[in-house]
Structure 1
Amino acid sequence: MSMRNVSVMMCAVLAVGFMAFAADEKAKPFKATCPISGKAALQDKTADYKGAKVYFCCGNCPGAFTKDTAKFASKANHQLVATGQATQVKCPLSGGKLNPDANVEIGGVKVGFCCDKCQGKAAEAKGDAQVDLAFADAAFGKGFEIKKK
């Protein structure tokens, strides 16, 4: 095989790989829940929060959110993780190292814990209490980090 043929084949492989990656990125539709209403959020209705963006269902919700962020913090923090703007680094209850076998799905987000005790607490809680347990500001500060842009 000549050098030219090898070069052409390498370019073809890279092009196919890039197209597959680009198609995979496009295949992920935007999905977020408004922390105010619980309805589907829109990408163009946002408010800045903790160095990231929180998405809302309409133009009225960002104002309500900024007036009282503490009231909606748990759901906003949950949304930051659900939209990939924040990642989990430690247990949100203890701040301890994550145990790969101790997980609970909370509102469509897989949340890890350090031990069975913390996992059990989260599994027992339901609805908003479960979101508050794992995503309240104190828990969010212990267990999650906003991704750097």
Structure 2
Amino acid sequence: MKHLLLGIALILSVSSAADEPKKTKDTKLFCVVSGDEIDKNNLNDQDYSKYKEGKVYFCCGGCKMDFDEDPKKFSTKANFQLVATKQYEQTACPVNSGSIHSEKAKKKLKKVTVNGMEVDLCCPGCLKKYTKSKDKFSLLFSDKAYEKGFDVASQQAKKPSGKTSKK
């Protein structure tokens, strides 16, 4: 009987592990300049620029040059990419810098999804601002919002690397 239960548990764990690679949305990023897809699993082969305390990845050297010329122009998308690559993590509400980690805050917490990424908002008031916003992406990932709600991830999460293009 023990062997039968162990066998079933093994089969279930193998079949659930086999299902994991189907999450293709989780393995793709987009170039902040062109919007072309970048394979998140092959960042070592991608051009990148240092941005804030992380790296922003591009589909080609031309996009890297455009970004390097005027990073401010692409900052909202670059901020999003830093979180998508787990170089930065959410630490507070990006709308008003309210806590999202206390027990009291967790009861009021509202979750929204923007471009496939889940973002926590601290209260119904911030959710209302988000709902009314015509540019939800910028509301959550502009430089101003980024300062309020995101910070460098722990060192263990900072693994992506890549190649730099020569200027």
Task: State the TM-score, normalized to the length of structure 1.
Answer: 0.74
Give the aligned partner of residue 136 of structure 1.
142
In structure 1, runs of 5+ residues without a counterpart are 1-19
Match of 1:34 among 31, 36, 41: 31
Residues 31, 83 of structure 1: 8 Å contact kept: no
Q: What are the within-5 Å matches in structure 2 for residues 37-76 of structure 1?
A: 37-41=34-38, 43=43, 44-76=46-78
Of 34-43 and 64-73, the range deviating more from structure 2: 34-43
In structure 2, runs of 5+ residues without a counterpart are 1-13, 156-167
Q: CA deviation at 1:131?
A: 1.2
Q: CA deviation at 1:47?
A: 0.8
User: 2:51 & 2:27 partners in 1: Cα distance?
Assistant: 18
Letter in 2 for 1:72: F
Bigger Rg over Cα: 1
Task: State the TM-score, normalized to the length of structure 2.
Answer: 0.67
Q: CA deviation at 1:30?
A: 4.0
Alpha-carbon RMSD across the aligned residues, in angstroms, is 2.3
Of 88-97 and 30-39, the range deviating more from structure 2: 30-39
Question: Relative contact order: is structure 1 or structure 2 higher (C-alpha 8 Å, sep ≥ 6)?
Answer: 2
Of 97-106 and 49-58, the range deviating more from structure 2: 97-106
Give the aligned partner of residue 4 of structure 2.
none
The answer on 1:123 being equivalent to 2:131 is: yes
